[in-house]
Amino acid sequence: MARKTQPLKPSQPAKTSDSRELAAAAAQFARAVLRVALEVLDGRRSAAQLGSLAETTVIAAVRTLAVSGTAPGHELGVATLTRVDVIMSDSGTAEVCAGYDRGTRHFALAARIVHGRSGWRLSAFRVR
């Protein structure tokens, strides 16, 4: 009895020019919003400046870290974003991992950005 075989499906959808443009836009947004978030953590910007860029829960969490001074390495100086990697989960969601320096130390952060009607928004943010 012959066995029926199923054609293999690719694990990732084919890259189209639209998907490349969306990924490039996600990467550009991620760099900008992470820079703003780090400046809020350092007290160089108001958390209100994240208003149009992030979900309210993320803004509240960043504000809490900034006010309490409990951001990792806060005592070492200003945070400088050094690396941002963006991985598209699907057409409207991207996972972000990034590195930043404070003084001579290197730290990591992770985030999620989602694309909606009004554009990209920061929906999750975690610093280490």
For residues 97-121, give the mean pLDDT: 96
Total-model pTM: 0.84
Instruction: Give the tens place of pLDDT for each residue, 45-82.
Output: 999 999 999 999 999 999 999 999 889 999 999 999 99
24, 118 in Cβ contact below 8 A?
A: no
Nearest Cα residue to 80 out of 115, 110, 27, 39: 39
Quote the domain boundaries for residue 47: 19-127
**How many structural domains is the chain composed of?**
1
User: In what helix (H) or strand (E) does residue 65 lie, and over which residues does it extend?
Assistant: helix 56-68
Q: Does residue 12 lie in a domain region?
A: no
> Which CATH number is 119's domain given?
3.10.450.540
* Within-domain flag for 52: yes
Residue 8 lies in a domain: no
Q: Is residue 5 part of a domain?
A: no
Specify the pairing of strand 93-102 against strand 119-127.
unpaired
In a domain, 106, yes or no: yes
pLDDT at 19: 82
